[in-house]
Amino acid sequence: MLPPKALLDALSAHASRLFNGETPLPRSEFEAQFKALLQSGFSKLDLVSREEFDSQMAVLARTRARLEALEAKVAELEARTAQDATPPTE
């Protein structure tokens, strides 16, 4: 993976070549080359798809809910244990 500055510099250099070309490119050719340039840059980054991100967020939310339920159960059991361990005062 390239450092962010190096990636931006490389993208900038390639984009400059597209914009400052000797012969003007037709719009469709320019768009295709620019899209390829961006895809090339993005492929060098450590990115995930939106679907993968949403999937991992759902897993994380379920895990947090289970953890909170377990923490509540442990607190309840600890309170019960502490109550049972305390001798009655009469």
Q: What is the 3-state secondary structure (H, E, C) of the chain?
A: CCCHHHHHHHHHHHHHHHHCCCCCCCHHHHHHHHHHHHHHHHHCCCCCCHHHHHHHHHHHHHHHHHHHHHHHHHHHHHHHHHHHHCCCCC
Residue 20: DSSP 8-state = T
Residue 71 or 25, more confident? 71
pLDDT score of 8 = 74
Measured torsion, CA atoms of residues 7, 10, 14, 17, in degrees rounded to the nearest 10: 150
For the chain, which residues make up each domain, given as ranges? 1-46, 48-90
Residue-wise pLDDT for 64-80, tens only, equals 999 999 999 999 999 99
